[in-house]
Amino acid sequence: MGYRLLLDENIENEATDRLAGAGHDAEHVDSVPELGKGSADQALARYSVETDRTIVTYDDDFIARFGPEAYRAVLFFEDESVSVRELVEIIDAMADVYPHAEVDGLQKTGREWL
Does 53 have pLDDT greater than 80?
Answer: yes
How many structural domains does the chain have?
1
Does 68 have pLDDT greater than 90?
Answer: no
Rounded distance, CA 6 to CA 26, Å?
Answer: 6
Mean pLDDT, residues 107-114 taken together: 93
Contacts of 37 (CB under 8 A, 6+ apart): 9, 29, 30
DSSP structure class, residue 54: E
Domain that holds residue 73: 4-113
Q: What are phi and psi of 91, to 5 degrees?
A: -65, -40
Across-strand partners of 12? none
Task: Work out the mean pLDDT of the chain and round it to a whole number.
Answer: 91
Amino acid at 34: E
Residue 61: pLDDT band (50, 70, 90) is confident
